[in-house]
Amino acid sequence: MPKIPVMQAVVEVLKSEGIDVVFGCPGAAILPLYKAMESDGGIEHLIVRHEEGATHMADGWSRTTGNVGVAIGTSGPAGTNMITGLYTAQADSVPILCITGQAAVSKLHQEAFQAVDIVSIAAPVTKWAVQVKEAAQMPWIFREAFRIARSGRPGPVLIDLPIDVQKQEIEWDSSIDEPLPVQKSAPSDARVERALEMLLAAERPLLLAGGGVILGEASAELLELAEFLQIPVQATLMGKGALDEDHPLYAGMTGIQTSQRYGNASFLESDLVLALGARFGDRHTGDLAIYRGDRKFIHVDVEPTQIGKVFGPDLGIVADTKLFLKALLDKAKQHGPRDKGAWVERCQELKRTLLRREDFDTVPVKAPRVFKEINEFYGPDTYFVTAIGLYQIWSGQHQKAHRPRHYQVCGQAGPLGWEIPAAIGVKKARPDAEVVGVVGDYSFQFLVEELAVGAQYDVPFVLIMLNNEYLGLIRMAEDHGGYDMKYEVDIHYDTTGSDNVKIMEAYGCSGVRVADPGEIRTSLEWARKEADRTRRPVLVEIMIEREGNTANGTSIAAMKEFEPLP
């Protein structure tokens, strides 16, 4: 076999794994990899302004493509800056690969400059963290990293590369190399049969689509099963978009924050729930005694340790969601279709009647009005990203999703600042798509420097900011959560606080501030044209009422509604 620089082999492995773009910033301890990328020329690289931004860009790219996103950093603080991104990816089952440089092996015990045990630091927030000390292992470790990231419950991995190992040569022939196979868990036939029996015996069953339906590319199978058996479908926050929300069988979202009124109502009336790739997160379930009630639960998940983690289901099935739904549909077709029945009609009635008002014309703008405009203006093929805060909860409650992988949200970790870099990752994955970030005024400034990446590399997207000049979610928790205070959550100063339009302009981007609900539509039209014209990020900043609240509660049966209902 030919002898080549080991980092050349790494670049060839990356390309064969489907990687055509990476996000990172060079440093002395990772330059052999950068030299190999420069020499090869087959992988695009975007220089980030912060390594956390690189991880979130890789995250957004991965959520959009389903492939493993790649972020690169040097030694020391580069890796520690990546920890939030690794945690975010782990929490939401997103496969990303972080590559870090490291001091020479002989210096690791001497507290060398920027030498840190990043493998130990990253271990709790990765599926696998490893340092390569033998150059000959390098291609195989990268192959195994991709396999682990994709297998079972997907997630992040980290590979740490000492500088002296990167500089070596190895024998390697890429023409006879290929990705390692990923095995998918098929369901037990007996458990599929039992699941069908339970579904057919139920009078008011629901299918609950979690993030595993989207990650498992199982939306088509979900739709076919739902229509064949005429069973209403709900989605968790991570499953939003698994079924078009305008579909007659869509029955909403249950939860104590991101939920619809009709979703909670139909869930409370159900007698059986088939949960597909769902974690039963606490923002979804609320009070477990109320959530469980007398209804039966079937829990399907690719990760065995998820079964029974929150509560013991009546039937647990370890399987890939797509394979399970195919097997269940095959058995269902042997039994024949079900009639529509009164339960489907009941769920449709609840969907028509138990709504939240959105048609507010008051000034300052009420947040639900923003999402009414978003739903009416943007088409079903638009990609959305949003992170954490009142704006994200309003989005979950009011914003419609129509396609899998088109509504992307941090479901568990909730890192502020995720939206800008994630939008860059999404746009790099789908250059021809319209990409929109829904962001709060506080989150906007956490990784605002990544706007420079969008400007430098001509990555256009639209940011819709809901600006209340507050840490809104924490203000609501302080004010209505039993603390009776509003302490250190007000970020208002001068007239309207930070001039976010000027911040956009400082990065070579553009924006507009909106104060009247009647101006929202024309501002969205302008932003679309401006993004197309400039090929850069564009901001629509909407000044909303400062102390608006989202519907919330501790139980899905006792939600507090702050706005008048329709």
Residue by residue, DSSP assigns 34-79 as: HHHHHHH--SEEEE-SSHHHHHHHHHHHHHHHSS-EEEEE-STHHH
Q: Identify whether residues 194 and 224 lie together within a single domain.
A: yes
Structure token pair of residue 25? 């910033």
Q: Are strands 510-514 and 538-543 parallel, antiparallel or unpaired?
A: parallel
Residue 315 pLDDT: 97
Residue 183 lies in a domain: no
Residue 328 pLDDT: 97
pLDDT above 90 for 157: yes
How far is C-alpha 183 from the chain's CA centre? 24
Q: Identify whether residues 50 and 108 lie together within a single domain.
A: yes
Residue 256 lies in a domain: yes
Q: 337 CB contacts (<8 Å, ≥6 apart)?
A: 228, 229, 230
Predicted confidence (pLDDT) per residue in 544-553, tens digit: 999 888 888 8
Residue 456 lies in a domain: yes
Give the three-state DSSP class for 362.
coil
CA distances from 435 to 71, 104, 423, 529 (A): 21, 42, 7, 13
212 pLDDT band, cuts 50/70/90, is very high
Residue 269 lies in a domain: yes
Give the three-state DSSP class for 474.
helix
Q: 516 CB contacts (<8 Å, ≥6 apart)?
A: 363, 365
Q: What's the CA gap between 486 and 343, in Å, rounded?
A: 45
Q: Identify whether residues 332 and 408 lie together within a single domain.
A: no
Question: Phi/psi of residue 218, each to 5°?
Answer: -110, 15
19 pLDDT band, cuts 50/70/90, is very high
Q: Identify whether residues 220 and 314 lie together within a single domain.
A: yes
The pTM (predicted TM-score) of the whole model is: 0.94
Query: Cβ(33)–Cβ(81) under 8 Å?
Result: no
Q: Identify whether residues 295 and 342 lie together within a single domain.
A: yes
239 pLDDT band, cuts 50/70/90, is very high
Q: Identify whether residues 10 and 150 lie together within a single domain.
A: yes
pLDDT above 80 for 108: no
Residue 492 lies in a domain: yes
Residue 364 pLDDT: 95
CA distances from 300 to 90, 204, 228, 331 (A): 19, 19, 19, 16
Number of domains in the chain: 3
Predicted confidence (pLDDT) per residue in 420-439, tens digit: 999 999 999 999 999 999 99
Predicted confidence (pLDDT) per residue in 138-152, tens digit: 999 999 999 999 999
CA distances from 322 to 187, 191, 194, 224 (A): 10, 15, 18, 12
The helix or strand, by DSSP H or E, that contains position 4, with its residue range, turns out to be strand 3-5
Mean pLDDT score across all residues of the chain: 93
Q: Identify whether residues 271 and 208 lie together within a single domain.
A: yes
Spell 84-123 as b/e; 16+ CB within 10 A means b: bbbbbbbbbbbbbbbbbbbbbeeebeeebebbbebbebbe
The highest-confidence range among 21-35, 172-186, 470-484, by mean pLDDT, is 21-35
Residue 212 lies in a domain: yes
484 pLDDT band, cuts 50/70/90, is confident
Q: Identify whether residues 420 and 520 lie together within a single domain.
A: yes
Cis peptide, bond prior to residue 181, ω within 30 of zero: no
Q: What's the CA gap between 422 and 294, in Å, rounded?
A: 41
Q: Identify whether residues 535 and 392 lie together within a single domain.
A: yes
Residue 489 lies in a domain: yes
pLDDT above 80 for 190: yes
Q: Identify whether residues 373 and 320 lie together within a single domain.
A: no
Q: Identify whether residues 293 and 400 lie together within a single domain.
A: no
Predicted confidence (pLDDT) per residue in 42-90, tens digit: 999 999 999 999 999 999 999 999 999 999 999 999 999 999 999 999 9
pLDDT above 90 for 462: yes
Of 143, 170, 197, which residue constitutes the final position of a domain? 170
Residue 107 lies in a domain: yes
| Percent helix / strand / coil, the chain, rounded to 5 | 45, 15, 40
pLDDT above 90 for 562: no
Handedness of CA 133, 134, 138, 141 (dihedral sign): negative
300: left (phi over 0), alpha (psi -120 to 50) or beta: beta
Structure token pair of residue 323? 């394979």
Of 353, 375, 406, which residue constitutes the final position of a domain? 353
Q: Identify whether residues 343 and 437 lie together within a single domain.
A: no
Residue the block writes with tokens 């840190």: 116
Q: What's the CA gap between 234 and 392, in Å, rounded?
A: 19
Domain that holds residue 421: 367-543
Residue 113 pLDDT: 67
CATH number at residue 126: 3.40.50.970
